[in-house]
Structures are given as C-alpha cells and as structure tokens.
Chain A
Amino acid sequence: MSALTSAAARPTTALSPARRVKNLLMGALILLATLVVVAPLILIFVYLLREGLGAMNLAFFTKVPAPEGETGGGLLNAIAGSVEMLLMASVIGVIVGVAGGIFLSEYPRHPLMPTVRMISDVLAGIPAIVMGLVAYGLIVLHFGFSGFAGALALGFLMIPIVVRTSEEVLKLVPQSVREAGLALGLPKWLVTLRIVLPAAAGGIVTGVMLALARVAGEAAPLLFTAFGNPNVNLNPAKPMSALPLEIYRGATSAYDENQRLAKAGALLLIVLIFVTSLLARRFSRRK
C-alpha cells in the first residue's frame, strides 16, 4: 500500500500541475476536516478538566448537593443512584440481550429469527427519550417515580446493543467446536452453555461494557422516570438521582455552585465512560 502510494507520488510520466495541485489540495482539506472532527472532543475534555478538576474534592464524593444558593456539597446521591440503576439495568439488559444473541446465533433456522433480528435492530434506533415515555406509562403512571422505572428504561436501551455484540461473538465460535461437543453426545443446550458461551464470554463482556458506557450517560429517559433526588436513596421504589440528571440540573441552573458540581460531574462521567469503552475495546482486540 505505502509502496504503491509512493510510486504514485513519483510517476515516471510528468503529472500535469493542475492534477498535482488538486491532489495536494484535497489531501490538505481532508487533513483539515479530520482536525475539525477531532477538535470538539479535545476541547470538551480540556474544558472539563480545567473547570471540573478543582471541584473534585472529598466532599464531591461523600456529600449530597447543598441547598440552592449555598456552597459546598457533592454528588454522592447521583453517584449512588447511577451505580444502583446501572446494576438493575444490567440485569435486564444482560439476561434478555445474551438470550437474544444466543437465539440469533444458535437457532438461525427458527421461524421467528428474522423478526427478532429486525426488531432488535430497530430498537437500537429508538430515541432514549421515547423509552422514557414508555417506562413512564409502564411503571410511573401506576407506582410513581422510581429508580426502578429509570433502570427499566436504561435496561431496554441496553438490550439491542448486547444482542448485537453477543450474536456477533457467538458466531465467531468455530462450528467445529459445537460439532465436537455434539459428537461426544452432549445435548445442544449443554454445548451452548458450557462450550460455546464460555468461548465467547470475552466478547460478550465487551458488549455489556459498551452498552453500560452508552446508557450511563443517558439523562433524557430518567427525567420523568427516576426523576432525581437530592438525597442518597437506596430504595429502588423511590425517586433516585443519577450523574447525567445532576449534570442536566446543574448546567441549566442559575447558581454557580450547581454549575460547578455539574462540570465536575460531567468530568467524572466522561472519564468513567472513556475508561470503560477503551477497556472494552482493548479487551475485544486481544481476543
């Protein structure tokens, strides 16, 4: 490839100036466009580091927000709520998602298979806020705002991501491995659970981590499900806060103190998400 390009750069016949200029110009434009694409990420990260790092003291991790207009406090309520809701969402997302992946990869001849695949693809594109409306109708309308309702919306959002990635890695397990198991007289379910699934475990974990990273930052579906809570709440049946919710509240607040907490919260969230996605990718590449 590089040999080819350098050969093209030094042709034996003379290249007309117009073509040479156009080639260089387009190359420069492509480089410039790439810089424009990457710039926001660097700018956001630098901004949050500069503004948020100072607010990340011990109180940030151990206290709840101070009442409006007062200084001090932290985001313990949001951190606890996020962890709790993500754990609950994972239960839904992982069980249904991995089962969906197994169904698509191990039962490709099942008459329902094309429908399940299409619907899971379609679900992946449904806006998060719409899932919030659905969880509202399912839970909040009957039982009130709760962490569980938020977790349900997040779990629904995780499902298609986990389905897709686990289907892909399950299909990478060589057919001969399955055949070897079956040849030993093992039933198909044991082959699937004890041989195929463990072989694909790394990839499935990657998919779950990516799904978590994706929904950890969602505030929209939580606005009218988990609703938010100024205090630490461990009861899933009661309103609960989350990092993205506090970021939203703080960023749209007129109080400096809330804005400061929001910036620190955004820094924490973005670092957690980056570390998770980078680890997931590192992990999957090694496989």
Chain B
Amino acid sequence: MSEPTRPAPPARLSSASDRVFEGLILVLASVILLVFLTSIYQLTRDSWPALQHFGLSFFTQRTWNPVAGVFGASSMIAGTLVTSLVALLISVPLAVASALFVAEYAPRWLANPVGYLIELLAAVPSVVYGLWALFVIAPILGRWQITFFSPDHPDRLALYTKCAALWAENKTTLQCFFVPSSGAGRGLALAIIILTVMILPYTASVARDVIRLVPQDQREAMYALGATKWEVISRAILPYARAGILGGVILALGRALGETLAVAMVIGDSQDVLRSIWGNASTMASVIANQFGDARETLHRSSVVTLGLTLFFLSVLVNYVARLIIARLTPKGIQ
C-alpha cells in the first residue's frame, strides 16, 4: 500500500501539527516495543538468581524439590513438549478434516454455522475447559482406565511389581506406560485430551482460510479429468494448501505450549518424569500457575520465573516461524 500522494504547497502549513501527531502516534506505538522489552528485562532479572545458581543444568536436571532448594526443569520441559506435540498430532487431522468440510463439502447454510461453532470453540476460556475436564471427562476416563487397563486378573500384581522395579531403575517399558493411576482420571492423558480440543480451532480456522485460497482452476482442472472429490482434495487442494496449513499447525503449537489453567487443573501436578500416560505430570505453565503464588524462597521463585522466561522465548520462536510461513504463503494483497 503506497502513501497518499500529497499536494506539496498547502501541506506545508500543517507540517508542524502533522509532526506532533506523528510523534504522538509513534510514542504510543512504541509502547508495544516497550511491553516486549520490559517483559524480557523483568523475566531475565527475576530468573537471574536461579540461572546463576544452577547454570544450564537447570534445564537438564530432573529434581525439582522446593524443600531441598534444588530446581531442575527437565521433567516440566518434557511434560510441556509431550502434551503439546501429542495433542498436535491428534488435533491436526481432525482440524484439517473439519476445515475441508466447511470449505469443500458443506452447503453454505451449514458451512457458516459450523464455522461459527468452531470459532466459538476458540473463545471458550481455558478455565472453563479445565472445569469441564475435571467434572465430566476425568470420571469417565477414570472408569475407563479401570475397566480396560487393569483387568482383575492374577497377573496384575506381578505386572505392577515388575513395573515398579523398572521404574526404580528408571527404565519404563511400553507396557508399564499404560499402568493405570489412582488419580481418578486426572493426569497426562486428560491434559492431552483437553489440549487437543483447545488447539483444534486454531488449526481449523487457518486451514479453512488457506483451503479457500486454493484457486478454483485447480479444482476445475481435476474435475475435468474425471477426478472424484477426494482425489481433487488429496491431489489438488491439500498439496496447494500444505504450507499454509503447516503455519496454522505451528500457531496451534504455540498455543499448546503456553496453555495454562486447563492443563494445571487436570495434569495432577507431579514433578515425576513421565512414567505412564495415566500418571501425573506437570508442564512449565502448570508449575508457574500452581507454585508461583506460594514460592517464598528467592531461589524457588526465581526458578519458577525461569520457566516463564523459557516459555517466553519458546513462544516467540514458534510464533515467529508460524508467521514467517503464513506470510510467505499468503498471496500479496490478501494479508
């Protein structure tokens, strides 16, 4: 977009007031930069004691023990990555399918309401998802675990003993990974389920938009060759929209990494390593939510802020990459 071509002479009269206005707008717009820089400054300053005390081992150490004053974040980093990536893996096919439905299958009278519903899904607050997961999904999941994953046979005790021994050695087999917990449905699995639901609309709406941008000729050419609808989708539409969908997926990943309360409410808040999909775990965001208010010791508080700093840079990176992909893809003029 080009600047208006300004007629030179009469504008000179107002150049002083124009400069004042421009200055004012610039100052206010600089607040945006200020918020960003202040955030980095605050978070770095507050995490300094922990970073100085533990160095890089903060990110590799597994022990997080406020009583002993030892803080290592590796199991929370793992919790964040595992919940986010698994939720992403489940949600992407669902999101793309719903985008295809809205953009390609549904008649207009149905496409608009379904599109609305998916956007409302993005508007539901995290804490409401958490409440629903806690009161509705957790009991179902708890019953389901007991029914399917701990059948009441004599080998059960043997299995537990074996798994407990393996855990003690810090080796987990796939079998042990499905040992039910006593958390009444709460834990890693529930966190993944609720995250999946929460990030669906982000991928879905980006995917819908890029699918709509696929030129009509692409579809028509395929149909003219006698292709079925699915062949058009799989060979003309999805390849064309692939990179844009990827941008939406990365955007959703950014959301998942920082999602806090819904996860904090259901993940069980344990600093153990991930040993079972039904077991308790924690993410960086859930630890901040659950511990920052009670953290009295400088080192504890500072360690929690370090998690925030890590999350900050992780989100900046992820969002930057997503925007880069989307910007490169969006045809000029549509942005």
Contact = CB atoms under 8 A, between A and B. Distances in A.
Same assembly: yes
Contacts of B135: 47, 51, 251, 259, 263
A137 B126 CA distance: 24
Contacts of A248: 127, 130, 261, 265
B167 interface: no
B11 interface: yes
Contacts of A88: none
Interface in A126-178: 126-131, 133-134, 136-138, 156, 159-160, 163, 171, 175, 178
A22 interface: yes
Interface stretch (A59-67, A68-76, A230-238, A267-275): A267-275
Interface in B207-222: 216, 219-220
B158 interface: no
A133 B288 contact: yes
Interface of B: 1-7, 10-11, 13-15, 17-18, 20-22, 24-26, 28-33, 35-36, 38-39, 42-43, 45-46, 93-95, 97-98, 100-102, 105, 107, 114, 116-121, 123-132, 134-136, 197, 200, 204, 216, 219-220, 223, 226-234, 251, 254-255, 257-261, 265, 285, 288-289, 292-293, 305, 308, 311-312, 315-316, 318-320, 322-323
Given A127-B258, A223-B292, A31 B316 contact: no
Contact of B292 (A19, A38, A108, A224): A224
Interface of A: 1-2, 4-5, 7-9, 11, 13, 15, 19-20, 22-23, 26-27, 29-31, 33-34, 36-38, 40-44, 47-48, 51, 95-96, 99-100, 102-110, 112, 115-116, 118-131, 133-134, 136-138, 156, 159-160, 163, 171, 175, 178-179, 182-183, 185-190, 192-193, 213-214, 216-220, 223-224, 244, 247-248, 251-252, 259, 262-263, 266, 269-270, 273-274, 277-278, 281
Contact of B229 (A27, A109, A273): A27
A9 B226 CA distance: 9
A163 B125 contact: no
List the 8 shortest-distance A-B pairs measured between CB atoms, nearest first. Answer: A217-B125, A127-B258, A187-B14, A125-B319, A99-B28, A189-B21, A33-B97, A137-B42
Contacts of B131: 247, 251, 262-263, 266
B193 to A, nearest CB: 10
Contacts of B3: 108-109
Given A30-B100, A37-B118, A122-B36, A96 B46 contact: no
A110 B26 contact: yes
A107 to B, nearest CB: 7
B127 A219 contact: yes
A43 B219 CA distance: 36
26 contacts: A4-B220, A8-B223, A8-B228, A29-B97, A37-B94, A38-B121, A40-B197, A42-B117, A43-B136, A100-B28, A116-B30, A119-B36, A126-B39, A127-B259, A127-B312, A130-B308, A131-B39, A137-B43, A187-B18, A189-B20, A217-B125, A251-B130, A251-B265, A252-B134, A277-B123, A278-B116
Given A4-B219, A122-B320, A126-B39, A27 B230 contact: yes
A239 B275 CA distance: 40
A274 B46 CA distance: 38
Contacts of A129: 258, 260, 285, 288-289, 308, 311
Contacts of B38: 134, 138
